[in-house]
Amino acid sequence: MGYRAIYTFEPYTSLFTEALKKYIEMYGEAEVEVEVLSMALDRVFHVKRIIEPLLVQGYIVVCDRYVYSSIAYQGARNADIEWINIVNRYAIKPDIAIYLRVPLEIALERLKHKQSDWSYFEKIDRIKKALEIYERLALLGELMAIDATRDIDSVVMQCIKLITRYSLAR
């Protein structure tokens, strides 16, 4: 569509996420506080070194996962959501945040066909609680929910319509 856009993701590949992976390898599990702080460190690196410079250059930055993932996944382990927000207060609030909504069964089926460096986070109970938190965030208007049970082209078109509608309203 002629826009300068770039895709990025979280957790980003940084010293902080590598340290968390080694910590989990060594101890089998990380305390929820270690997860929150590791993801927050990774995010500040990502924001300061990647996202902000791209925004200054005029790019639209599309980020797969962000603060909302910390709220959902560490919140699923009963981390205090207010504290998660406090340690992530430097994170730029996105113009729009989209939640690709799928039922638990579909999410689990899709995970079977995906290679992940973060399978540690993909346990059924944790995903179920994370989905509940994502739903709450959507109800609060923090996330815009899109039905992601359909084919990928339909989901992409639905996202484009939502983004276009948002852009025109600004």
The pLDDT assigned to 114 comes to 74
Write out residues in the chain with pLDDT < 70, as ranges.
Answer: 115-120
The pLDDT assigned to 107 comes to 81
- Spatial distance between the Cα atoms of 74 and 129, rounded to a whole number of angstroms: 10
The pLDDT assigned to 37 comes to 98
Number of domains present in the structure of the chain: 1
H or E stretch covering 47: none
Range of the domain at 109: 5-169
The pLDDT assigned to 5 comes to 93
- Tokens encoding 142: 């923090």
Q: Are strands 144-147 and 60-64 parallel, antiparallel or unpaired?
A: unpaired
The pLDDT assigned to 122 comes to 74
**Full-model pTM:** 0.90
The pLDDT assigned to 120 comes to 67
Domain harbouring 138, CATH code: 3.40.50.300
The pLDDT assigned to 65 comes to 94
* Cβ–Cβ < 8 Å for 94, 66: yes
- Spatial distance between the Cα atoms of 37 and 167, rounded to a whole number of angstroms: 33
- Spatial distance between the Cα atoms of 160 and 47, rounded to a whole number of angstroms: 24
